[in-house]
Amino acid sequence: MKLKTILFITSFAPVIVFKVIARVGDATLAQAKVATVVGLILAGIQFILSARLIKHTTYLEKTFLGFLGFGTVWVYLTPVHVSSLFVDHSTTLLYFALFLATFIPQLFGYDPFTYAIAKQMTPETVWNTPHFRTINLHLTYFWSMIFFVNFFSSWLGHGRPLFSILIPLVIILGIGLPVVKIYPKYYLKRQFSSQPIDPSLIPGTAKELILRMPMGFHPEAAGDLKAEIQFDLSGEGGVKGVLSISEGKCSFLEGQTSSPTLTIHSPAHVWLKIARQEINRAQALMDGLYEVGGDMNLLMKMGDLFRLPTKAKEEDLTQKGGKKMKILAIQGSPRPKTSNTDILLQEFLNGAQSQGAETETVYLKEKEIHSCVGCYTCWAKTPGACVFKDDMPELLEKVKACDILVYATPLYNFNVTALVKAFQERLLPLLDPHLIKTGEAYRHPQRYAVNRKMVLISTCGFPEVSHFDGLRQVFRHLEQNGGVPIVGELLVPGGELLKQQGMQENVQGVLRTAHRAGIEVIKEGRVTKETEMEIQKPLIPPDDLAEMANLWWDGHLEGITQGKPVQGKVEDMRLLLRGMAATFNSQAAGDLKATVQFEVTGKQAGDWFLSIEKGKCTYQEGKASSPDLTIKTPSEVWLAIANKEMDGQQAFMEGKYTATGDMSLLIRMRSLFGAKKSQN
Ligand X SMILES: Cc1cc2nc3c(=O)[nH]c(=O)nc-3n(C[C@H](O)[C@H](O)[C@H](O)COP(=O)(O)O)c2cc1C
> Does residue 192 interact with ligand X by CB under 6 A?
no
Residue selected from 106, 340, 500, 506 as contacting ligand X according to rule CB under 6 A: 340
Q: By C-beta, is 341 or 630 nearer to ligand X?
A: 341
Bridge partners (DSSP) of residue 620 are 609
Stretch that binds ligand X, among 158-166, 195-203, 384-392, 454-462 (CB under 6 A): 454-462
Picking from 245, 268, 248, 244, the residue whose alpha carbon sits closest to that of residue 256 is: 244
> Does residue 412 interact with ligand X by CB under 6 A?
yes
Stretch that binds ligand X, among 150-158, 257-265, 272-280, 332-340 (CB under 6 A): 332-340
Applying CB under 6 A, the site for ligand X has a residue count of 18
Closest CB 515 distance from ligand X, rounded Å:
18
Closest CB 576 distance from ligand X, rounded Å:
20
> Does residue 466 interact with ligand X by CB under 6 A?
no
Q: DSSP string of 485-548?
A: -EEEEEEESSGGGGG-TT-HHHHHHHHHHHHHHHHHHHHTSS--HHHHHHHHS-SS-HHHHHHH
Q: By C-beta, is 371 or 567 nearer to ligand X?
A: 567
Which residues, including other chains, have CB under 8 Å from residue 454's CB and lie 6 or more apart? Answer: 404, 405, 406, 407, 475, 478, 479, 484, 485, 486, 487
* Gap between the Cα atoms of 400 and 403, Å rounded: 8
In this structure, which amino acid lies at residue 484? V
Q: By C-beta, is 237 or 410 nearer to ligand X?
A: 410
> Does residue 462 interact with ligand X by CB under 6 A?
yes
Stretch that binds ligand X, among 137-145, 266-274, 459-467, 558-566 (CB under 6 A): 459-467
Q: By C-beta, is 492 or 576 nearer to ligand X?
A: 492
* Gap between the Cα atoms of 204 and 329, Å rounded: 25
Bridge partners (DSSP) of residue 291 are 265
Q: By C-beta, is 286 or 343 nearer to ligand X?
A: 343
- The size of the chain, in residues, is 680
Contacts to ligand X from residues 641-670, by CB under 6 A: none
Stretch that binds ligand X, among 173-181, 335-343, 507-515, 594-602 (CB under 6 A): 335-343
Picking from 496, 400, 410, 492, the residue whose alpha carbon sits closest to that of residue 452 is: 400
> Does residue 606 interact with ligand X by CB under 6 A?
no
3-state secondary structure of 28: coil
Q: By C-beta, is 242 or 582 nearer to ligand X?
A: 582
> Does residue 410 interact with ligand X by CB under 6 A?
yes
* Gap between the Cα atoms of 593 and 612, Å rounded: 5
Q: By C-beta, is 413 or 451 nearer to ligand X?
A: 413
- 3-class secondary structure per residue, 553-601: HHHHHCCCCCCCCCCCCCCCHHHHHHHHHHCECHHHHCCCCEEEEEEEE
Residue selected from 280, 341, 359, 604 as contacting ligand X according to rule CB under 6 A: 341
Angle, helix 13-23 to helix 29-53, in steps of 10 degrees: 170
- 3-class secondary structure per residue, 299-356: HHHHHHHECCCECCCHHHHHEECCEECEEEEEECCCCHHHCHHHHHHHHHHHHHHCCC
Residue selected from 214, 482, 495, 538 as contacting ligand X according to rule CB under 6 A: 495
In this structure, which amino acid lies at residue 624? A
In this structure, which amino acid lies at residue 493? P
> Does residue 333 interact with ligand X by CB under 6 A?
yes
Stretch that binds ligand X, among 59-67, 284-292, 293-301, 407-415 (CB under 6 A): 407-415
Q: By C-beta, is 71 or 410 nearer to ligand X?
A: 410
Query: Cα angle vertex 352, ends 348, 354, to 5°?
Result: 115
Q: What is the CA radius of gyration of the chain?
A: 38
> Does residue 461 interact with ligand X by CB under 6 A?
yes
Contacts to ligand X from residues 274-303, by CB under 6 A: none
Closest CB 409 distance from ligand X, rounded Å:
8
Q: By C-beta, is 50 or 340 nearer to ligand X?
A: 340
Closest CB 456 distance from ligand X, rounded Å:
13
Closest CB 539 distance from ligand X, rounded Å:
12
Residue selected from 421, 467, 537, 656 as contacting ligand X according to rule CB under 6 A: 467
Stretch that binds ligand X, among 292-300, 340-348, 353-361, 593-601 (CB under 6 A): 340-348
Residue selected from 459, 480, 513, 531 as contacting ligand X according to rule CB under 6 A: 459
Contacts to ligand X from residues 80-99, by CB under 6 A: none
Closest CB 676 distance from ligand X, rounded Å:
21
Burial code (b: 16+ CB inside 10 Å, e: under 16) for 387-407 equals ebeebbeebbeebeebbbbbb
Which residues, including other chains, have CB under 8 Å from residue 647's CB and lie 6 or more apart? Answer: 641
Q: By C-beta, is 221 or 418 nearer to ligand X?
A: 418
> Does residue 414 interact with ligand X by CB under 6 A?
yes
Q: By C-beta, is 496 or 534 nearer to ligand X?
A: 496
Contact yes or no for 47/89 (Cβ under 8 A): no
Residue selected from 411, 427, 490, 629 as contacting ligand X according to rule CB under 6 A: 411
Burial code (b: 16+ CB inside 10 Å, e: under 16) for 105-136 equals bbeeeebbbbbbbbbeebeebbeebebbbebb
Contacts to ligand X from residues 231-250, by CB under 6 A: none
> Does residue 413 interact with ligand X by CB under 6 A?
yes
Read off the DSSP letter of residue 367.
S
Q: By C-beta, is 397 or 469 nearer to ligand X?
A: 469
* Gap between the Cα atoms of 661 and 595, Å rounded: 10
Distances (CA, A) of 412 to 78, 407, 460, 524: 99, 14, 8, 31
Residue selected from 347, 403, 440, 496 as contacting ligand X according to rule CB under 6 A: 496
Stretch that binds ligand X, among 277-285, 406-414, 482-490, 530-538 (CB under 6 A): 406-414
Q: By C-beta, is 115 or 412 nearer to ligand X?
A: 412
CA dihedral 555, 558, 563, 569 (to 10 degrees): -10
**Residues lying near ligand X in the complex (CB under 6 A):** 333, 335, 339-342, 410-414, 459-462, 467, 495-496
